[in-house]
Amino acid sequence: MTPSERSRTVRTAVAITTAAVLVAGLAACGGGGGGGDGDEGPPRRGGTLKLVGAGDIDHMDPVSAYYTATGFLERAWTRQLFTYPASTDRNKAIQPTPDIATELPTRQNGGISADGKTYTIKLRDGVMWGTQQPREIVAEDFVRTFKRMANPVQPVGAPGYFASTLEGWQEYFDRYVKAFDEKNANAKEPTAKNLAAFQNDNDIEGVQAKDDKTLVFKLRNPATDFVNILATTFTTPSPVEYDRYVPDSAEFKQNTVSSGPYKITKYTAGKEIVLGRNTAWRQNTDPVRNAWVDQIQVTQGQDSDAAVQQQLESGSADLSWDLPVPTSSIPQLQSANDPNLGVYGGGISNPYLVFNYRSPNAGKAMSKLKVRQAINLAIDKVALGKVYGGSSLNTPLHNAIPPGNVGYKPINLYPTKGNQGDVNRCRQLLREAGYPNGLKLNAAYRNSGNHPRIAQSYAQDLKECGIQVTLSPVRQGDYYGTYLADARNATEGKWDITAPGWIPDWFGNNGRTVLQPLFDSGSCPPAGVNYGCYQSDRVDDLMDQALTAKSEDEAAGLWAQADRQIMEDAAIVPFQDQKTPLYHSSRVKNAIFLPHLNAYFDPTHVWLDGG
């Protein structure tokens, strides 16, 4: 199957991979049904939580949204069957907990069948849609979501999670794509009416609403992380009103329906997002969230991390939306023991360099192993680490699976002295690859935060090796959802290399969330986030074996083998295992770090000193 063909479908046996992030939490206090486990005094209700930053969300539709900044907002306006609690105890924070579901399914309570292939989920009473006339969320609203995931306009961000687990989801996906494929003589136009008609006339074997309060999922094989999959925001229930709109269209973005404590009251693309209270939400139906602030306001268009930091320190803003703490500010803040600074994370690959296998440029250079190996040898990872605050926050990384994740086994197939690159070996491999005079490449990079400096750093490394890099800026809010998601930008050679980041979708039992989205052959854009469209039958097979492994230890060995094969193929250049500094204004209290969002606190638990 050619790359273009495989990018249109989801493999029926996608594998699992594993990751776990080590996090540290800020002091936090509890309140309401959502809880918490710190002590900053009694919470106060009211005020506007103000965020400032550069770009926009990737998608508004939860089915396709995959940007961490979008996930921050989804925490406030959406709910799922299961989610993760706000807690400063890492072990607690990474364990899924019931949200709209009444309890975690087990074999003992009848939620999981004896063979592990049927999950029966009961819905909590009184969880309401924030419609003009509030009504209860029912099982069919979740069924609608799993159907909407396969839409051909803006499909789910991680299709492999569902294709590899749910009976009939792959087949449903294939039928949906075929019905609207322009190559099909009988193809329908993807209007809202036609999309809804297909969804309402076609069922997924493995997703059923037994009654209004009962969902039944039938799995292809037992999957011990299935509850984690159900805790992703992709599975947010969809009200029947969504049948009126093309998924994630401009009309959709102005007509979202809330299930969480907040609702979107204003959205101006690239400028502002405002969330206000959802009056249909009730605290006694939500065991996870609070709602202390009255509004959450996101102001966009501010590309300078230094300017944003100044606003946070002065108190004119509370949190950064999508920009890091300026590298130059970190030593001073640390030496002053500033109580508003926290350092979190580790165990993530952010950013890393991706090679565009589909690019026609320079004689299809990115598809040549020795060229990719040469670039691996050229990169000064110490210099890259300095961009993000130096060695105390960043450790050079040589694996596709970062430390602290299941399957991590240290390797370094492209060692250089002091991790600072080896120009001579790089040049030698380029000569062997047929480029004695070097070559020219295009690099796309995000235009804000540390990303321009990262691009300049690796471009300089490659220049010394004989590779001339043309740097092309992309607006931060467009980078993932618009630029990288458009396969034409890859096939037309608009970029050869780029540096995205990756944060696992969950932690703990999360073998599925590192290698599979990024390296599975069927996850090439537009049907996934294997941005470079790397394809390896061996890696696919190892991941498939890991999916059916009988123990975590067995699976870990398979992930390690897949990791090694990915690095032997030089599919990426890992940069660093990164810790994340976060800063908030002095009036922000109860700032609880959410590991699965990595760069964000839980907005539903924050309260403001003075309102």
pLDDT higher than threshold 90 for residue 345: no
pLDDT higher than threshold 70 for residue 139: yes
Give the DSSP H or E segment for 429.
helix 423-432
- Residues 278-307 have a mean pLDDT of 97
Tally of CA atoms within 13 A in the half-sphere of 524 that contains its CB: 25
Please report the pLDDT score of residue 431 as a whole number. 98
Beta strand 262-268 with 272-277: parallel, antiparallel or unpaired?
antiparallel
The pair phi, psi for residue 209, each rounded to 5°, is -100, 105
Looking at the chain, which residues constitute the CATH 3.10.105.10 domain(s)?
Answer: 349-578
Contact predicate 509/528, CB 8 Å: no
Statement: 349-578 belongs to CATH 3.10.560.10: no
Please report the pLDDT score of residue 26 as a whole number. 28
CA distance 72 to 297: 12
Give the pLDDT band (50/70/90) at residue 270: very high
Looking at the chain, which residues constitute the CATH 3.40.190.10 domain(s)?
Answer: 41-56+261-345+580-610, 62-246
pLDDT higher than threshold 90 for residue 180: yes
pLDDT higher than threshold 80 for residue 514: yes
Fold of 62-246: D-Maltodextrin-Binding Protein; domain 2 (3.40.190)
CA distance 589 to 611: 11
Q: Collapse the DSSP code of 211 into the 3-class scheme (helix H, G, I; strand E, B; otherwise coil) and give the result.
A: strand
Which residue has better confidence, 405 or 167? 167
pLDDT higher than threshold 80 for residue 20: no
Give the pLDDT band (50/70/90) at residue 39: low
**Among the listed ranges 273-277, 530-534, 547-551, which one has the minimum average pLDDT value?**
547-551
Q: Which amino acid is at 273?
A: I
Give the pLDDT band (50/70/90) at residue 157: confident
pLDDT higher than threshold 90 for residue 126: yes
- Residues 181-195 have a mean pLDDT of 92
CA distance 61 to 70: 10
The pair phi, psi for residue 442, each rounded to 5°, is -105, 135
pLDDT in tens, 533-579: 999 999 999 998 988 787 778 888 999 999 999 999 999 999 999 88
Q: What angle in degrees, to the nearest 10, is found between the helix axes of 451-465 and 423-432?
A: 70
Given this structure, which CATH class describes domain 41-56+261-345+580-610?
A: alpha beta
Whole-number percent of the chain with pLDDT over 70: 93
How many CB atoms neighbour CB 315 within 10 A? 13
Question: DSSP letters of 85-110?
Answer: ---S-HHHHTS-EESSBSS---TTTT
Smallest CA-to-CA distance from 544 within 11, 1, 119, 162 is with 11
CA distance 182 to 173: 16
pLDDT in tens, 203-244: 999 999 999 999 999 999 998 889 999 999 999 999 999 999
Q: Which amino acid is at 368?
A: K
Angstrom CA distances, 36 to 391, 582, 592, stand at 32, 19, 8
Please report the pLDDT score of residue 496 as a whole number. 98
Angstrom CA distances, 5 to 176, 523, 527, 535, stand at 16, 11, 11, 12
Question: DSSP letters of 460-526?
Answer: HHHHHHTEEEEEEEE-GGGIIIIIIT-HHHHHTTS-SEE---B--S--SS-TTSSHHHHH-GGG-TT
pLDDT in tens, 313-325: 999 999 999 999 9
- Residues 462-480 have a mean pLDDT of 95
Contact predicate 566/355, CB 8 Å: no
How many CB atoms neighbour CB 188 within 10 A? 15
Whole-number percent of the chain with pLDDT over 90: 78
pLDDT in tens, 438-451: 999 999 999 988 99
Angstrom CA distances, 4 to 178, 214, 276, 528, 533, stand at 15, 39, 43, 13, 9
Give the pLDDT band (50/70/90) at residue 51: very high
DSSP annotation of 126 reads T
Mean pLDDT of the chain: 91
Q: Give me the count of residues in the chain.
A: 611
pLDDT higher than threshold 50 for residue 479: yes
